[in-house]
Amino acid sequence: MVIAHFLKWVELAKVSERAAAAAALARAYTQGDMAFEDRCAAEAGMTFLLDDPSSKVRQSLAEVLSLSPFAPPQIIAALAADQPEVAGLVLARSPLLSDLDLIESVASRHISTQKLIAARPRISMAVSAAIAEVAEADACSVLLDNTGADIASLSFRRMAERFGHLGGLRERMIADARLPAESRHMLLVMIGEALRRAPLVRALVGDAHADRITHNACVKASLTLIDRIGSEEYPALIEHIRLRGDLTASFLVRAVAHGKVDFFGAALVALTGQSERRVRALLANGFDTALRAVFAKAGISQQTHAVLLCALKIWRLVARGKRVAGAQEVSWLMLKELGGQSAQGDLAALLRSIHLDMLRANARGHALAIAAA
């Protein structure tokens, strides 16, 4: 009887009155203390209000029902498909929307809707994957800022592939501690490529020199990245570097010279198919003959074997506490293995470059320490 009077009254009431009545009816329903018959009547009334010509009335319903886990699912579904100002409230807050509902909305709605979904307090891996795959860059930025979002490694990779060329989003991904190593490396390479293509850089140093500077910067960035990730991420990073064609003998020589022995071991596992346990044992205590065989199986040229063995012997002593040494000394001893400063060839030039880089880095660090004292 009450609902009958309500429906007659709604037809004559002003918009503001209908909106207030819609909110009151929704609050009464979600409080959960209504009799069964009254709840059914309230549902009927809210269903009738879904057809109200004013979006303000439907928005009042959405403001209350979107926060409740007890709202009628059919009404939530209808509100979620309404105009943006109505649907946005439900899409952003309702706990009743399934992952499928949210994924469909991400795929079919405007960027404003995508951003609302990306900002929900909790986002499953499936919804994050949909946002990473089809949403606009701004929605992906919102997703990255959302600490309540569960984002898979593949989703990070898709965002890097789709939007790594955008400086703002790229910086946001790099700053995200959840970013997997291979995606981080991809973005670092993209930064290098952006630098290489910059007209100013090419005008100042020329195309060939710009390419060389970019390559060296990417290599150094990759080495720095190794220190910032756990060993469990080495295989993924190695595979990414390998697929790019950058897992070269020179890169491995640089890694060993800088003391990245665990990473070098992971690379040998990937390149040879040997077990991790065997490779670790060889690097820790193996004879030169056995190590040379593993190097050869990994495709590392014979001319680099001696300098790699030289470095590994020093890092073994350092690991056992029997020697104090750093990359500057190790790179010099590797160069000395080839004949010192007078040595010729690409390998000697590489080791000379590594040694000079370490001299500069250590001198710079010493100068900063003096200035800070």
Contact present, 200 and 175 (Cβ < 8 Å): no
Class of residue 31 by CB neighbours under 10 A (exposed 0-12, middle 13-18, buried 19+): exposed
In a domain, 194, yes or no: no
Would you state the pLDDT for residue 252?
A: 93
Q: What percent of the chain shows pLDDT beyond 70?
A: 89
Whole-number Å distance between alpha carbons of 143 and 120? 9
In a domain, 47, yes or no: yes
Residue 61 maps to a domain? yes
Torsion 64-70-76-80 (CA) sign: positive
With a cut of 50, say whether residue 1 has pLDDT above it.
no
Instruction: Tokens for 335, please give them.
Output: 């160069």
In this prediction, residues 78-91 reach a mean pLDDT of: 87
* 270 occurs within a structural domain: no
Instruction: Compute the average pLDDT of residues 233-248.
Output: 83
| Cα–Cα dist 44/36, whole Å | 12
Average pLDDT, the chain: 85
- 316-356 residue pLDDT tens: 999 999 999 888 999 999 999 988 888 888 899 999 988 88
* Phi then psi dihedrals of residue 151, to 5 deg: -115, 125
Residue 283 forms part of a structural domain: no
Q: Is residue 19 part of a domain?
A: yes
- Burial (CB < 10 A; 0-12, 13-18, 19+), residue 325, is middle
The sign one gets for the Cα dihedral 92, 94, 95, 99 is negative
Res. 3 pLDDT band, cuts 50 70 90: low
71, 65 Cβ separation under 8 angstroms: yes
Q: pLDDT by residue (tens digit) across 6-65?
A: 666 766 678 888 888 888 888 888 886 777 877 788 788 888 888 778 888 888 888 888
- Higher pLDDT pick, 194 / 120: 120
Helix H, strand E, coil C: the string for the chain is CHHHHHHHHHHHCCHHHHHHHHHHHHHHHHCCCCCHHHHHHHHHHHHHHCCCCCHHHHHHHHHHHCCCCCCCHHHHHHHHCCCHHHHHHHHHHCCCCCHHHHHHHHHHCCHHHHHHHHCCCCECHHHHHHHHHHCCHHHHHHHHHCCCECCCHHHHHHHHHHHCCCHHHHHHHHCCCCCCHHHHHHHHHHHHHHHHHCHHHHHHHCHHHHHHHHHHHHHHHHHHHHHCCCHHHHHHHHHHHHHCCCCCHHHHHHHHHCCCHHHHHHHHHHHHCCCHHHHHHHHHHCCHHHHHHHHHHCCCCHHHHHHHHHHHHHHHHHHCCCCCCCHHHHHHHHHHHCCHHHCCCHHHHHHHHHHHHHHHHHHHHHHHHHHHC
User: How sure is the predictor about 212, in pLDDT bands with cuts at 50, 70 and 90?
Assistant: low
- Taking the C-alpha atoms of residue 41 and residue 346, their distance in angstroms, rounded to an integer, is 85
Q: Is 192 within 8 Å of 168 (Cβ atoms)? A: no
Phi/psi at 299 (5° precision): 85, 15
Say how far apart CA 314 and CA 239 lie, in whole Å: 28
Angle between helices 305-319 and 288-297 (to 10 degrees): 120
Q: Between the ranges 30-44, 103-117, 248-262, where is the mean pLDDT highest?
A: 248-262
Of 256, 358, 373, which is closest to residue 304 (Cα–Cα)? 256
CB 289 within 8 Å of CB 309: no
> What domain count does the chain have?
1
**Structural domain that includes position 43:** 1-97
Indicate whether 171 pLDDT > 50. yes
Q: In sequence order, what are the beta bridge partners of 123?
A: 149
Question: Quick check: is 123 in a domain?
Answer: no
Q: Is residue 190 part of a domain?
A: no
For residue 206, pLDDT over 70 is answered with: no
User: Cα–Cα–Cα angle for 150, 155, 157, nearest 5°?
Assistant: 135
pTM for the full predicted model = 0.63
